Structure 1
Amino acid sequence: MAEEYGLKRHFNGGAARLIGEKILAVYPDFDIDGYAEEVEQRIPGKELKDRVLVLAEGLRSRLPEDYTEAVGILVAILGDELAEGEGMFNLSWFLMPVARFVEEYGLDHPEVSLDALVEITKRHTAEYAIRPFIEQHYELTMKRMAEWVHDPSHHVRRMASEGTRPRLPWHRTLTRFVKDPLPVLEVLEPLRSDPSEYVRKSVANNLNDISRDAPELALATALRWSEESRTPETTWIVKHALRTLVKKGDQQALTILGATGGEHLRVPNLRITPQTVNLGDTFVIRLDLENTDVRTHRVAVDYAVHFVRKNGRSIPKVFKLTTLDLAPGERRTLEKSHTIKTIQTRTYYSGEHLIDIQVNGLVMATDRFDLHL
C-alpha cells in the first residue's frame, strides 16, 4: 500500500507530457497539450488505479480509432528492455497507462493484444493487464502461457507465473483458479528451477497463493518438487512458497522444510523488555532455546504478536525470528528487536499485547507487553 501511495503522485499532467512526447516521435498528430490538460483536470481526488485509467482513456481518445494501429504506436514507444533487477516501478513506471490501455481496449483483439503485452512486460509489467484475457479468452491465453514459460526473456516467463496468481495484490481474484488451481500448477511446473531470481520469486508467491485455498495440493506439489528437483533454486522456491503454512504451524510444511523434533525442543526462559511500550518504541524479545534430544534438529523459530483491535479482541501477526540447527543437548539464547512503528496497513490500540514463541510451529512460550498510545 505504501508503494501504491508513492506511485500515484507521479500520474499527473507531467506523466501525460512524458508519454505524449514519446508518442509525438512516432505519431506527429498526437495532441500532447490537450492530453496533459485533461489529465490534470481529472486526477484530483483519485487513487492510483483511477489515475492510471484517466491517462489510458486520454490515450484512447487521441490515438487512431483502429485499435491495431493505436497499440502499434504505443509498442513503438516502449524503449529498451529492462535488465534483471531493474525496477518496473521506478525506471519505467510511466508505462502503466500503456498496459492499462491494452487491458481496457484490447479484449476484442486478443492476438494483437497478447503480442503487445509480451513487449510491454519486457519493459514494465503486464501481470495485471493479462488477467481479463484469462477470464475472457481462456483457451488462447493459457496456450500462450504454455509457450511463455519457455521464452528466453525472464520477464516473459515471469508474466506467465505472476499473471496466473489466484490472489495477485492490487487486482481482483481469479476465482476460477481459486476453485481449481491445477491449470496454474501446469504453468509453474517448467519454472520450478528457473535460473532467474525474478521468476523464482513469482513462482514461490504463486504457490503460496495456492496454499491459502488448497493447502493439501500446495503441500503435495512442494513435496514432489523437493524430491524431484534437488536444486538450490527449487529449494528456495519451496521454502518461500510454504511461508504462510509455516506461520500457521502446519507440521507437514515444516517437515518438508526439514524442521523436526518438536517434542524435544523447549523454551525455558522468555523475556520481553521493556514491558511498557509507546508508539515508536522498540521492545526486545530474548529467549533460551533448548534441544533435549540426542539428535540434531532443524529448528524454525517465529514469534506472533497479538495486536489489540478496536473492539478489544486481538489478531496475531506472525514474524520470522530465525532458522537454525540445534545440536544434541544444546541450549542457545536468541534475541530479536521489534519496533512499534506507524504503517499504513495497521492501526494500533492501547492494551495488553501477548507474544507467542512458535518453535517448529508449536507455541512453546508466551509473554506480554502493554502498549500505551
Structure 2
Amino acid sequence: MDSTIPNHTTPQLPQAASAIQKDVPLKEILSATSIGYLARNIELVFPNFDKDSFSTQATTGLDELTLMQRADHIATALRAHLPTSYQDAIDILVASFTPELTQSSDNGLAVFFYLPHSAFIAKYGVKASGEETDPFDLSMAAQYQLTKRFTAEFSIRSFLLHDPNRALATIQTWLSDPDEHVRRLCSEGTRPRLPWGKRLPDFGKTPDKVLFILEALKDDPSLYVRRSVANHLGDIAKDQPDWVLEICRNWGEEANKERRWLIRHAIRYLDKKNYPGANELRRQMK
C-alpha cells in the first residue's frame, strides 16, 4: 500500500465520510492517505522526521489488519521514527494536532485519524522504559489535549488499569472543565464495558470508586456528557443491577426532565431483561 504525502502548510485532517458507509470497512479510515497526512503533520513541527521511511513502515502489511490493529501498527511505526525520548516524542505528536473541536456532533469519521495517536500513548506512555522519567503525567496531559480533537476513552483505560488511584485523581480535576469533550472523557473513559475498549471490571464490581464522577456529571449542561453517564450506568447494571437502581431512585427524587431521561436511558437494559423494579422506575421517570 503506497502513501502519498501531501504538502499542506498547517496540520490537517484527511477528508472522510460523515458516517459509516455501506460496503466500506471502517478500517479504511486508517489508510495510506491518512498515513500521508500524519507524516506531513509531524514534519511540520519536526522537520527531521523521516516521513518516507515512516510511511513505508506504516503502510506495509496494512491491508490485512482491522481498524484497531492498524492503529497499533501505525503507533509502532511512529515509535520507530520519533525521538527515543518519550517526552520529546509526545511533545511532537501534541504539537502536530489540528485545532480543537468546536462541537460534539457532525464531526464525521475524520477524527478517527487520531486513533494511532491514542494507541501510541497507551502503548508507550504508561510506564517508564529504561532510565526515562515516569511518563504517566505527560501522557495524561496529552490525553487531555487529544480528547479535544477525538477522544482518549480508549487510551486512558491503560492508565486506569495500571494505576487507578493516580488516574482517577487526575480525572477528578477535569470534572469541571469548560470543554464538554473533557468532561465526557471522565465518564466515558471509566465505563466498565466500553465498546472496542479494554474492560475495567473493577469499576463494574465496585462502582462506588467512580460514583463521584457520575454524581458530578449527572446534571451536566451537555447532552453529550449526560448520555455518557447514562451509558456508564448501563454498563454497571450488567454487574450491579441493584446498585444502579438504588442510585437512579435517589436521583429520581424531584428530577427535572433531563435527569429523568438519563435515568430511563440508564436502566433500559434492566427493563428489557425484566429485572424487578426497572420497568416501574422507567414509567415513573416519564
Q: Which of 235, 239, 242 is the matching residue for 2:267?
A: 242
Distance 1:88 1:6, change over 3 A: farther
TM-score by length of 2: 0.86
- Structure having the larger proportion of residues in strand: 1
Q: Which of 34, 37, 43 is the matching residue for 1:15?
A: 34
User: Quick check: 2:154–2:198 contact (8 Å CA) kept in 1?
Assistant: no
Q: Which of 253, 277, 289 is the matching residue for 2:278?
A: 253
Q: Which residue of 1 aligns with 2:152?
A: 126
User: Quick check: 1:12–1:39 contact (8 Å CA) kept in 2?
Assistant: no
Q: In the alignment, does 2:124 pair up with 1:105? A: yes
Q: Which residue of 2 aligns with 1:117?
A: 143
User: Quick check: 1:88–1:124 contact (8 Å CA) kept in 2?
Assistant: no
1:205-255 Cα shifts (integer Å, max 9, x gaps): 000011111000000001111115x22221111111011011112341222
> Aligned ranges for residues 361-372 of structure 1 at < 5 Å?
none
Q: Which residue of 2 aligns with 1:289?
A: none
Q: Which residue of 1 aligns with 2:162?
A: 136
User: Quick check: 2:191–2:235 contact (8 Å CA) kept in 1?
Assistant: yes
Q: CA deviation at 1:87?
A: 4.9
Aligned counterparts of 2:159 and 2:198: Cα–Cα separation in 1 = 13
Q: Which residue of 1 aligns with 2:112?
A: 93
Q: For residue 98 of structure 1, what is the amino acid of its counterpart?
A: H
Q: Which residue of 2 aligns with 1:64?
A: 83
SS in 1 for 2:45: coil
SS in 1 for 2:191: coil
Consecutive unaligned residues in structure 1, runs of 5 or more: 261-297, 299-373
TM-score by length of 1: 0.66
Q: Which residue of 1 aligns with 2:131?
A: none
Q: Which residue of 2 aligns with 1:201?
A: 227
Aligned counterparts of 1:95 and 1:86: Cα–Cα separation in 2 = 17
Structure ID, larger Rg: 1
SS in 2 for 1:9: helix
Q: CA deviation at 1:40?
A: 2.1
> Aligned ranges for residues 1-12 of structure 1 at < 5 Å?
6-12=25-31
1:28-68 Cα shifts (integer Å, max 9, x gaps): 01111112222221212111111111111111111111111
Q: CA deviation at 1:88?
A: 5.7
Percent sequence identity is: 36
Q: Which residue of 2 aligns with 1:29?
A: 48
Aligned counterparts of 1:256 and 1:50: Cα–Cα separation in 2 = 42
RMSD over aligned Cα atoms: 1.8
Q: Which of 73, 76, 82 is the matching residue for 2:95?
A: 76
Q: In the alignment, does 2:58 pair up with 1:39? A: yes
Aligned counterparts of 1:68 and 1:179: Cα–Cα separation in 2 = 35
User: Quick check: 1:194–1:233 contact (8 Å CA) kept in 2?
Assistant: no
Q: For residue 282 of structure 2, what is the amino acid of its counterpart?
A: L
Aligned counterparts of 2:52 and 2:269: Cα–Cα separation in 1 = 49
Q: Which of 236, 239, 251 is the matching residue for 1:213?
A: 239
Aligned counterparts of 2:230 and 2:183: Cα–Cα separation in 1 = 14
Q: For residue 19 of structure 1, what is the amino acid of its counterpart?
A: L
Q: For residue 220 of structure 1, what is the amino acid of its counterpart?
A: E
Distance 1:87 1:67, change over 3 A: farther
Q: Which residue of 1 aligns with 2:174?
A: 148
Q: For residue 33 of structure 1, what is the amino acid of its counterpart?
A: D
Q: Which residue of 2 aligns with 1:338?
A: none
Q: Which of 207, 210, 213 is the matching residue for 1:181?
A: 207
Aligned counterparts of 2:108 and 2:75: Cα–Cα separation in 1 = 17
User: Quick check: 1:103–1:132 contact (8 Å CA) kept in 2?
Assistant: yes
SS in 1 for 2:148: helix
Moved over 6 A (4+): none
User: Quick check: 2:143–2:152 contact (8 Å CA) kept in 1?
Assistant: yes
Q: CA deviation at 1:89?
A: 5.4
User: Quick check: 1:89–1:124 contact (8 Å CA) kept in 2?
Assistant: no
1:278-330 Cα shifts (integer Å, max 9, x gaps): xxxxxxxxxxxxxxxxxxxx8xxxxxxxxxxxxxxxxxxxxxxxxxxxxxxxx
| Larger RCO (alpha carbons 8 Å, 6+ apart) | 2
User: Quick check: 1:192–1:233 contact (8 Å CA) kept in 2?
Assistant: no
